Chains A and B, each alone.
Chain A
């Protein structure tokens, strides 16, 4: 009985809705007839916006250089519906620190493939110069409104290097409140990655063999996997016509093979004697172990951003991020940009500071007396105590046809710090700084 009534009400409401829509269409038609055939879609911006850019990155001492062309194309169906494709390719060449400490003698390292070796001179940072990679990444995203109050987005991501593949999907749901002055967003990102390192997947915390005839090499598997789940909850609030603020909380969990297969760690002799603080010998070779990280990581971060537009149209954009994880790392990032407009040109200086505290299992080296007790260890400077500074300047020129040329130059400085070692090791530079420069040139049309 009650169901029946409900049905009748539902039909009545539907009829009303149809009637009202008919009414609206009729009045729109009558209005157009009166005003003289103004097309309702005067500005259906049904066109492609393309942003093409080229990025050059170079570290001091020619360690690593990268070149990356990026093209992204967005098709705007209307104010809120759009489809974006992005393709990026980068080529990295150069040498990267392998994790071992410098030493008072020439050090010889087995190359990742086990087919050769490379040396580091006495007192030199051990760098793996076999490091060269080309990466291609493709991503696509679709976003559209569901109704007045809701919108959604879905996307996919694919990237490929010769030893790494990543496949991801993401989705987001947004709810508008207060006449769209407030937006709540929930985003979810899943990715599944495969690592197939050169020479196979090494066994963590085991001595790096002399070459690939060693049983450590022959028993290796070719590849391993890792998976990633990210969830982001965000609030965007329009404070007034000049100020917009965003607050995000994100939770990210990764599991599987999280180790860097190419990174190693030195074992230092802590027995009193002539070699105190020198490389520990095992099998009459300096002892290096493959690094090993836990197979799961839970990261959480909070992010706050404010954009403010001044009366002269200049824009200040300030953001802060705090990240902490169950590896013991926590970090702070402060980023500030200020955009100054001159007619159809703009200048945007940028300042960024990042500081990080080390992971619990980060060690610049292991000690000969207790290295066998370690469950996890990595000497990767990216997991150590770290401060980085970025200083950038962006310049843009908008042409009359609404296309835009832009370029951004930035310098990057990195400082690591930590335990200075003992004995012979104290005379080595364990935490070299890093300087890099980056240039981006782009054109939007």
Chain B
């Protein structure tokens, strides 16, 4: 692979001050654009005869990813996330995009019977997944649980742009943000490259989506990293359409008395899952769809495999 150039993106579109993306050429009409986003190494693979168009699509897609990252980041001031949380206990008006994410989160909450809940992020204050054996006190968990619960929000799907956020509660879009960004990047590439014959795949740290087969008619060969890094074993998945997402606890866990506490938390009990698979990869039409199913699978604990098997969706497990 040959380095071509850095893609210069105006700083006004780079609120988190990432390094500029780099453009690499793999073959005559095959490019790879590498960039950072949401603490992941990301890449866009584009097969297209028109270099300018490919560069343009990549730039626009990366700008979109950085926009989403900044907008919902918990670590930024002057963004949508901080603005929402600065207005508690009063009815505020959400922008369209946030409202749509709330609609999605609502579907996910009800479909999962409460297992997927974007208000559960604050449980992280009790659980520090640093590989140690420091389990939180039940009293601390109970205290936090009073501020967890989707139905405690002053929000209704009938008026999705209106929100009354009780103080102490937090909306964490991080659980779906990366997958959402992958899907949005794919949409942008689709639009910009619609006039030509092009194949592309977006990959953000293992969450990925493609527009279809490669130009030579072959499917994309995607390696799924096993979470058990020691073995370096990889599944090779042939992806010819749609998306893949992986949920897992990688190196984020606690270990006490022979029990491994996964960083996946049950929002109802506030407890860490102890018998979930180490990692679950799911294939679905969209990345956010794959992501929500893989997350829900982890939340099934030891029933993850039977849950996945009942869905008619391709999946790969690693224990």
Contacts and interface: CB of A to CB of B under 8 A. Distances in A.
A30 B103 contact: yes
A10 to B, nearest CB: 14
B191 to A, nearest CB: 10
Interface in A9-64: 16-17, 20-24, 26-28, 30-36, 38-45
B286 A31 contact: yes
A24 B108 CA distance: 10
B219 A79 contact: yes
A238 B309 CA distance: 24
Interface in B200-224: 211-213, 215-217, 219, 221, 223
B28 interface: yes
B104 A30 contact: yes
Interface in A256-304: none
B140 interface: no
Given A27-B111, A28-B285, A41-B241, A16 B310 contact: yes
Given A34-B100, A241-B221, A27 B108 contact: yes
Given A17-B310, A20-B310, A28-B289, A42 B107 contact: no
A41 B241 CA distance: 7
A413 interface: no
B290 to A, nearest CB: 9
A30 B108 contact: yes
Interface stretch (B16-24, B53-61, B130-138, B231-239): B231-239
Interface string A313-356: 00000000000000000000000000000010000000000000
Interface string B230-254: 0000111010111000000000000
Contacts of B296: 23
Given A23-B112, A27-B292, A42 B242 contact: yes
B261 to A, nearest CB: 26
B215 A26 contact: no
Given A21-B312, A38-B285, A41-B241, A31 B292 contact: yes
| Residue of B108, B216, B235, B289 with most partner-chain A CB within 10 A | B289
Contacts of B314: 148
Interface string B102-139: 01100110011000000000000000000000000000
Nearest to B314: A148
B316 interface: yes
Nearest to B183: A35
A23 B183 CA distance: 21
A42 B236 contact: no
B184 A35 contact: yes
A392 B180 CA distance: 52
Contacts of B293: 24, 27
Contact of B211 (A41, A42, A148): A42
B171 interface: no
Contact of A34 (B103, B216, B217, B312): B103
Contact of A238 (B49, B100, B216, B236): B236
A241 B236 contact: yes
A400 interface: yes
Name the interface size band of chain A. Answer: 35 or more
A198 to B, nearest CB: 47
A312 to B, nearest CB: 10
A402 interface: yes
A128 to B, nearest CB: 46
Nearest to A49: B217
Given A31-B292, A35-B286, A43-B241, A24 B311 contact: yes
A22 B310 CA distance: 10
Given A17-B310, A241-B236, A31 B103 contact: no
Contacts of A218: none
Contacts of A343: 27-28
A53 to B, nearest CB: 18
B316 A38 contact: no
B285 A32 contact: yes
B175 to A, nearest CB: 14
A307 interface: no
B307 interface: yes
Contacts of B27: 343
A200 B187 CA distance: 71
B241 to A, nearest CB: 4
A31 B311 contact: no
Contacts of B189: none
Contacts of A26: 107, 111
A398 interface: yes
B44 interface: no
B141 interface: no
B101 interface: yes
B313 interface: yes
A36 B187 contact: yes
Nearest to A241: B236
B104 A402 contact: no
A207 to B, nearest CB: 60
A144 to B, nearest CB: 15
21 contacts: A20-B311, A22-B111, A27-B108, A30-B104, A30-B108, A31-B104, A31-B285, A31-B288, A31-B292, A34-B103, A35-B180, A38-B186, A41-B241, A42-B212, A42-B242, A43-B213, A79-B240, A179-B316, A241-B221, A398-B216, A402-B215
Report the 4 A-B pairs with minimum CB-CB distance, sorted nearest first: A40-B285, A31-B289, A43-B212, A43-B241
Interface of A: 16-17, 20-24, 26-28, 30-36, 38-45, 79, 148, 179, 181, 238, 241, 343, 398, 400, 402
Interface of B: 27-28, 49, 100-101, 103-104, 107-108, 111-112, 180, 183-184, 186-187, 197, 211-213, 215-217, 219, 221, 223, 234-236, 238, 240-242, 284-286, 288-289, 292-293, 296, 307, 309-314, 316
